[in-house]
Amino acid sequence: MNKAKTIGWIGTGVMGGAMCGHLLAAGHTVSVFSRTREKATDLVQKGATWCASPAAVAAQSGIVFTMVGTPAEVRQVYFSADGIFDGLNKASTMVDMSTTAPSLSLEIAETASQSGSYAVDAPVSGGDIGARDATLSIMAGGKESVVNEVRPLLDCMGKSITYMGPAGSGQHAKLCNQLVVAGTMIGVCEALLYASKAGLDCNQLIAAIRPGAAGCWTLDNLAPRIIKGDDAPGFMVNHFLKDLGIAVQEARALQLDLPGLKLAHKLYLETQKIGHGQSGTQALIHALNEL
Query: Looking at the annotation, which residues are catalytic?
Result: 174
Greatest alpha-carbon pair distance for the chain in Å reads 64
How far apart (Å, rounded) are the C-alpha atoms in residues 42 and 147?
29
How far apart (Å, rounded) are the C-alpha atoms in residues 10 and 65?
6
How far apart (Å, rounded) are the C-alpha atoms in residues 195 and 192?
5
Length in residues, the chain = 291
How far apart (Å, rounded) are the C-alpha atoms in residues 36 and 40?
8
Check if the beta carbon of residue 4 is closer than 8 Å to that of residue 61. no
DSSP 211-225: TTTT--HHHHHTHHH
| Nearest alpha carbon to residue 66 among 84, 82, 44 | 84
